[in-house]
Structure 1
Amino acid sequence: MDGGNDPYTDDDRYADDELYTIGELARRTGLPVKTIRFYSDSGVVPPTARTDAGYRLYDLNALARLDLVRTLRELGVDLATVQRVLDREVTVSEVAAAHAEALDAQISTLRLRRAVMRAVAKRGSGPEEMELMHKLAKLSDEERNRIVIDFIEDTFGGLDANPEFVAMMRSAMPELPDDPAPEQVDAWVELAELVQNPDFRARIRRMAELQASERDTGYQDGLHHELTETIRTKVENAIAAGQAPESAEASRVVDELIAAYAEAFGSTDGPEFRRAMLHRLEVGSDRDAERYWQLLAVINGWPVPPTLVPVFEWFIKALRLNAG
């Protein structure tokens, strides 16, 4: 007999000093009477005794049990698991370990959602782009890598391209951290869209084919970075000096750089060689190809390489005017 409302709810204590009414239990724990009654009805915190009229009373053990129930529930433990802990079917440490892992996953998800929303706000995205960003951002590491690997296999597959360069591309996978910054989410979305773009794939395929064709020439792969640095230094100096690609000074820069290329390829300077080098530079100098590496750097937290696009655009324009 409980009648739904205990007349002792507002009493400080029942006659027996070791027994407490629901009202006293509520004041001691800070839990609502309704919640304690629910736990009692569920068998989680059963009454210790009842009055002659059938109203529930609780002892100190019930109070301790209720404190444990409240703590576990506040930590997100479901009531069925709470009951198992109270029945000693599982230990608190086992439950804590399982819930810590679950919380780690939830925290990771929430951090990712936060980063996506901040990136959406920064980009001013609409509903469709926001949905795409969320879809791409929540992919697993393996799924993200698969997108990039498919791109590499499509563009370099079946070609005898520089194996060191291809190996470098295969090893440079996007690794979005558990707590990504908005710019990292933004970079990953842009990279995923870029590598799935058919036009970009076709351009990178042309680069790979050109690279493969040069394997039979005298060009030494090891000189690539040295040549790039030479071009960067000379062209940046020319630009800083205000020398336009159409100027006589630019013509002299072209002569010096083509001479360096001729030596690297084991060839000699001349109209045919210059036209071949112009074609090589036009195919190999691609803003999006450079952007690919910049985006990877942002995603992975690497130093972002400086752009060389203005340098090579200047050189290409100057060489086109001096190709012979």
Structure 2
Amino acid sequence: MDEDGLLTIGVLARRTGLTVKAIRYYSDTGLVPSTDRTAAGYRRYGAEALARLELVRTLRELGLGLDAVRRVLERQETLARVARAHADAIDLRIRTLCRQRAVLRAVAEHGTDPEETALMHRLLRLSAEERRRLIEEFVDDTFGTADANPELVAVLRAAVPELPEDPGTEQLTAWAELAELTGDQDFRAALRRMAAYQAEQRAEGDTTGLHHELTERVRESVGAALAAGTAPGSPAAAVVVAELTARYAEAFGRPDDAALRGWILRRLEVAADPRVERYWALLSRINGWPAPPELAPVFAWFAAALRAAG
């Protein structure tokens, strides 16, 4: 420091930890102008220059560009506003990096081919709104084309894949498979047949909606029979069928007779598409929900037992 309190560029460099070259550059661009020069032409800086350099260094280390730093120094914008905008930009960059990392991990762990990698990357870039529209279009094309069960349609519309900002490998691969499944035209055709059957039942007066308790009872009773190794055509199976058909008769207000058993069997056959269960399993994995119970073996046994019972 000279006698008049001014600092040479070398002293300023030691005080701030910046290089002489960097300070000279900031000085030349007008960010930190020198106070005066010595007779030999060397620059000298005052206390204000030291404070400005400290701020410049801090903002640059935080990733702000020179234009943003200049606006702050020249009081064209407040530091708070610039910091908020830059923090938002960093958030976006972090989300982008997390998504890129998720794709790379999936490729590394599952050995996906280039086409699958490109698909995952494209799907991962979809916004939450775009994912919602994808599901809405899927529901509109399948259950939205007929007077299907409104409770089921509402559940389908509400169950949107909520992919986190930093998805795990399993979530990412599940999302890719779900997107592929919703685009499967054969699967869509099968769901349209289910919707048409529901519309047919509603036209005949069935407006009972969803039957979670009945489904759970079937799962418990048939699950116990499966665990016990009960054959669908055995007397023990006939007891299970009788108990369940009685519950169906009560739930739907129908006589418990052979016609009811045929009606139940048709319902099971219409719904017997393993892709439906896969759809909900994938959605649960993406959203971090508990895995849904596996119902395909349950309904297959129940259908076989109904056929055996005549």
Give the TM-score normalised by structure 2: 0.90
* 1:66 equivalenced with 2:62 (yes/no): no
Match of 1:174 among 161, 165, 182: 161
* Matching residue of 1:184: 171
Q: Which runs of 5+ in 2 are unaligned?
A: none
* Matching residue of 1:34: 21
Q: 1:218 to 1:91 in 2, by over 3 A?
A: closer
Match of 1:266 among 240, 254, 257: 254
Q: 1:223 to 1:189 in 2, by over 3 A?
A: closer
* 1:234 equivalenced with 2:216 (yes/no): no
Q: Summarize deviations over 1:141-172 as a string: whole Å, max 9, x none.
A: 11101111011000013311111221221122
* 1:86 equivalenced with 2:86 (yes/no): no
* 2:224 alignment partner, SS class: helix
Distance, in Å, in 1 between the alignment partners of 2:74 and 2:280 is: 57
Q: CA deviation at 1:57?
A: 1.7
* Matching residue of 2:137: 150
Give the TM-score normalised by structure 1: 0.87
Q: CA deviation at 1:47?
A: 1.5
Distance, in Å, in 1 between the alignment partners of 2:253 and 2:220 is: 20
* Matching residue of 2:273: 286
Distance, in Å, in 1 between the alignment partners of 2:73 and 2:137 is: 52
Match of 2:188 among 201, 206, 211: 201
Distance, in Å, in 2 between the alignment partners of 1:120 and 1:237 is: 41
Distance, in Å, in 1 between the alignment partners of 2:267 and 2:245 is: 12
Distance, in Å, in 1 between the alignment partners of 2:274 and 2:4 is: 82
- Check conservation: 1:219, 1:265, Cα contact below 8 A: no
* Matching residue of 1:254: 241
Q: CA deviation at 1:62?
A: 0.9
Q: Summarize deviations over 1:39-87 as a string: whole Å, max 9, x none.
A: 1121111111111121222222111111111111111111012111111
* 1:221 alignment partner, SS class: coil
Match of 1:159 among 136, 146, 149: 146
Which amino acid in 2 is paired with 1:106?
A: R
**What RMSD, in angstroms, separates the aligned Cα atoms of the two structures?**
2.2
* 2:211 alignment partner, SS class: helix
- Check conservation: 1:219, 1:266, Cα contact below 8 A: no
* 1:266 alignment partner, SS class: coil
Which amino acid in 1 is paired with 2:74?
A: D
- Check conservation: 1:108, 1:178, Cα contact below 8 A: yes
Distance, in Å, in 1 between the alignment partners of 2:212 and 2:204 is: 18
- Check conservation: 1:262, 1:268, Cα contact below 8 A: yes
- Check conservation: 2:37, 2:44, Cα contact below 8 A: yes
* 1:117 equivalenced with 2:110 (yes/no): no
Q: Which runs of 5+ in 1 are unaligned?
A: 1-12
Q: 1:89 to 1:222 in 2, by over 3 A?
A: closer
* 1:242 alignment partner, SS class: coil
* 2:119 alignment partner, SS class: helix
Q: CA deviation at 1:250?
A: 2.5
How many residue pairs get aligned? The number is: 309
* Matching residue of 1:19: 6
* 2:178 alignment partner, SS class: helix
* 1:157 alignment partner, SS class: helix
